[in-house]
Amino acid sequence: MAIPVLLAVATMTFFLIKLAPGGPFDAEKAVSPQVLKNLNAVYNLDASEWEQYTDYMTGVIQGDFGPSFKYPGRSVTEMIASGLPITFELAMYAILIALVIGVLSGVLAALKRNTMLDFIPMAIAMIGICVPTFLMGPLLVLIFGIQLELLPVAGWGQLSGDKILPSITLGFAYAAYIARLSRGGMLEVLNQDFIRTARAKGLTERMVVIKHAMQGGLIPVVSFLGPAIAGLLAGSFVVETIFQIPGLGRFYVEAALNRDYTMILGTTIFFSAMIVFFNLISDLASLWLNPRSRDV
């Protein structure tokens, strides 16, 4: 199913960007009609849309996403390769923060059900779900960067601590989702018969939770990790734009603004492939953690 999905995404993206007003050379200085004609010929923009589509898809099948219109002399593949490590590093920091905060608060809320240790983390989780990253980022910049002057507000790897705010901004919403999933999964498992049996055998509450309850209670979190990592990679463009991070997401935003057709297509196809891949990984991990699913 992956190949038809990617083909459909590439096809829809190709024809949708052609409907957008403007072109890749409209923002440049005024050029003569002959120069514009030569540019269109070089990038095959003078051909019919169907011919452009077939030529582009032929290149994609061969692993060639074409040249960038915005950055002459650089291919889309090269730009993806240069921006991906930064975007991937940001996503990994964000998912680590989300897991630590989300799992700990979710498990604690399940163990202390209907107490303040349940209500407070879930209230914060609801705030995290409701507040978008484009609002959370500037808010953290205002508090920790401008007012308190504790952390840098832009860049990636140039200054000490400049990776903290972007990672928290990107990971906070996912921490909220993970907290709610952890709580729900743990509550369901804690009411199972095998948990009561483990307690009856004299196991400590710590052993019951860690050894027995968490393996089944965190299955929803594992299932969520695949779409979450893919979403972090694909959704990092907002955070990268706010914090001026030279990652793949920022390239994508610039490509959209500059009508860099090949860059838009290449990154869209790449992000789609990542979503399919990480969803497959999460499904396999969930199957491994839940032996009953293997018997279906």
Q: What is the DSSP string of 55-80?
A: HHHHHHHTT---B-SSSTT-BHHHHH
pLDDT at 41 over 80: no
146-191: pLDDT as tens digits = 898 888 888 888 888 889 999 999 998 889 889 988 888 888 888 7
Mean of pLDDT values over 52-76: 83
Better-scored residue on pLDDT, 225 or 140: 140
Mean of pLDDT values over 253-259: 81
In the three-class reduction of DSSP (H, G, I as helix; E, B as strand; rest coil), residue 12 is classed as: helix
Q: Give the pLDDT of residue 167.
A: 92
14-29: pLDDT as tens digits = 888 887 777 676 655 5
Residue 278 · residue 223 · CB < 8 Å: no
Mean of pLDDT values over 235-259: 84
For the CA atoms of 111, 112, 113, 117, the dihedral, rounded to the nearest 10 degrees, stands at -130
Q: What is the DSSP string of 255-269?
A: HHHTT-HHHHHHHHH
Q: Give the pLDDT of residue 291.
A: 56
Q: Give the pLDDT of residue 1.
A: 62
Architecture of the domain defined by 81-291: Orthogonal Bundle (1.10)
DSSP 148: S
Lowest-pLDDT choice from 22-26, 60-64, 189-193, 207-211: 22-26
Quick one: what percent of the chain has pLDDT higher than 70?
A: 92
pLDDT at 105 over 80: yes
In the three-class reduction of DSSP (H, G, I as helix; E, B as strand; rest coil), residue 201 is classed as: coil
Q: Give the pLDDT of residue 293.
A: 53
Residue 153 · residue 165 · CB < 8 Å: yes
* Cα separation of the two ends of the chain: 21
Residue 171 · residue 93 · CB < 8 Å: yes
Q: Give the pLDDT of residue 292.
A: 57
Mean of pLDDT values over 247-268: 84
Structure tokens belonging to residue 124? 């914060």
DSSP 48: -
Better-scored residue on pLDDT, 212 or 190: 190
Q: How many CB atoms lie within 10 A of CB 260?
A: 24
Angle of helix 248-257 relative to helix 261-289, nearest 10 degrees? 140
CA 71 to mean position of chain CA atoms: 25
Amino acid at 191: N
Q: Give the pLDDT of residue 289.
A: 64
Q: Give the pLDDT of residue 67.
A: 84
Q: Give the pLDDT of residue 29.
A: 59
Q: Give the pLDDT of residue 97.
A: 92
Amino acid at 282: S
Q: Give the pLDDT of residue 112.
A: 86
Q: How many helices (H) and strands (E) does the chain have?
A: 15, 0
Burial 13-50 (b: 16+ CB within 10 A, else e): bbeebeeeeebbbeeeeeeeeeebeebeeebebeeeee
Q: What is the largest CA-CA distance in the chain?
A: 86
Name all contacts of 43-48 with Cβ < 8 Å and 24+ positions apart. 43/67, 43/69
Mean of pLDDT values over 190-210: 76
What's the chain's average pLDDT?
A: 82
Q: Give the pLDDT of residue 189.
A: 82
CA 243 to mean position of chain CA atoms: 16
